[in-house]
Amino acid sequence: MLEELLGGNVLGFMIWIVALVVAISIHEFAHAMVADYLGDPTAKLSGRKTLNPLAHFDPVGTLMLLFFSFGWGKPVPIDPFNLRDPRRDQALISLAGPGSNLILALVLSLVVRLSGNVLGLSILMPIIFLNVTLAIFNLIPLGPLDGFKIVLGFLPEDLARQWQETQSYGIIILLILLFLPIGGFSMGRVVLSLSSSIIKLFLGPSFGTIV
């Protein structure tokens, strides 16, 4: 993303910034909307049930997206005591974020496929790419990410308690997997590889060479 700016492509950089804003805003808005629907108005009362990107800005998560193409927005506040089934409902709330990113990426991909417009793809591709990458990254079942609570919500109660105890170590494990590849394994490369495969699936074979 920053390569565009460093290479003097200001327009390309601005398109990526718009893509970043769209991806984070739709992700966090979806969390807040589903939480409100399931009975917890905490996010809504905190001003998070909005597509206004300023409400969802997280400095570290946004910098991660700028530098590494995966990151996060400001966590949406949830009060589990307002939920009818806290573990299940928190899993659904967590799933809403990545789900909304994938749905948006799919819709935009269909627009490109139906129009057959390669120029349109050059504009929409950053939005498609960041939405898919943000979704895949947040589905990793570790500590602060959505994937952790999604897994937690569907485990039997005894296993769920054990799973909950690992949450505090999640961010450390995540950083090690991202920045200290072990035995040639790099979580970042896995995320980007999965994202590329999904984008090719969404766009179809006629656009495969562009991805």
* Number of folded domains that form the chain: 1
Could you tell me the residue range of the domain that residue 201 belongs to?
2-207
Q: How far apart are CA 99 and CA 42, in angstroms?
A: 21
Catalytic residue positions, numbered:
28
**DSSP strands (E only) in the chain:** none
Q: Give per-residue pLDDT as tens, 39-92.
A: 999 999 999 999 998 898 888 877 777 777 666 778 899 999 999 999 999 999
Nearest to 110 by CA among 98, 100, 123, 124: 124
Rounded CA-CA distance 211/99 in Å is: 21
- Reported as a single tens digit per residue, the pLDDT across 162-202 is 998 888 888 888 888 877 766 666 788 888 899 999 999 99
d(C-alpha 170, C-alpha 167), whole Å: 5
User: Which two three-digit tokens encode residue 64?
Assistant: 């991660």
